[in-house]
Structure 1
Amino acid sequence: MNVLRFVVVAVESGAKALVPAIDGQSLIELVAVFEAQRGYEPSGGYAGIIPAHFNFGDLRLYYEAREERQWPSPHHAWLLGCDCGEVGCWPLTARIAITATEVTWSDFGQEHRPDWDFQGFGPFAFEREQYATAVSSAVEALG
């Protein structure tokens, strides 16, 4: 099983961004390396999502893809946004599947580059209780 935590990063506006880290590695770095290895241009360019800049709803539900108006679509979430601070400008999307014991991120994609193939990136599977704790800690850190 993978281990998830969120790094809370202050951004220029004074708001806070949430950056997922999987097994101690930033998702921003993981996906940038993956894209660069495949020759995708521009590769990277991601940053954490900034809840103060977009209404994600209840983040505990959002990260389970259960928010009433789930972005970008049911069972999916924007895990990263653009390094400009706008989530919809350059989002990294993943499918979130939940069972009684685990949460899995899979089927990654870049909405603005639908021809980019993310096969081989992930899936990442987390123990459900550890995942819930990581999300709750992130929400609390946002204040």
Structure 2
Amino acid sequence: MTSKGIRFDCRYRGDGGALVIVPRIDGAPLTELIDGFEIAAGMRPAGDAYGGLIPAFFRFGPVRDHFLGRSTHVRGPKTPVLGCECGEWGCWPLMARITATADLVTWDAFEQPHRKSRDHAAFGPFRFDRHPYDDALRALSAVIDSDVDATRA
């Protein structure tokens, strides 16, 4: 099943103004989707554990490469799609395998690498039509580029 769409919400943290990226799938923030899944599955801790990715805290490389699963700065075959609620992706990340073809982008095989016993097999997969996905990445890139330009000014 193909998801209706993806977009990347961008907001600034209140503690220092760093840009935070949260994927929104079919209109729902990924943070809410994973919280609901983990709470329903009886995982502990669960709820409010994840936060968005903060590019200023870790250089993922080009955002397009990152969200196409080609980030050169991440170890292993999976890509962080969320970080910890504290802002550090390495602390409590949600990892996913991102596979892109000419027509489709799929997020699946989710995991919380610090809790290998957690079973996320029933979470996802999320499949996105490639062209709207690329449009969402272009919009995200424009926000990040604007943020970098404003920081340099």
Normalising by structure 1, report the TM-score.
Answer: 0.94
1:72 Cα deviation after fit = 3.6
- Runs (4+) of structure 1 exceeding 3 A deviation are none
CA distance in 1, matches of 2:46, 2:138: 30
**RMSD over aligned Cα atoms:** 1.0
**Residue equivalent to 1:35:** 38
**Residue equivalent to 1:80:** 82
Instruction: Output one character per residue of 1:48-94: Cα deviation in whole Å (capped at 9) or x when no partner.
Output: 00001101011111111123x242423x2100000101110000000
**Residue equivalent to 1:137:** 139
Task: For 1:114-129, list aligned pairs within 5 A.
Answer: 114-129=116-131
Q: SS in structure 1 opposite 2:43?
A: coil
CA distance in 1, matches of 2:76, 2:139: 25
Instruction: Output one character per residue of 1:8-31: Cα deviation in whole Å (capped at 9) or x when no partner.
Output: 021122110110000000000000
- How high is the sequence identity, in percent, across the aligned residues? 43
Q: Is residue 59–residue 73 contact of structure 2 (8 Å, CA) maintained in 1?
A: no
**Residue equivalent to 2:150:** none
Q: SS in structure 1 opposite 2:38?
A: helix
Unaligned regions of 5+ residues in structure 1, if any? none
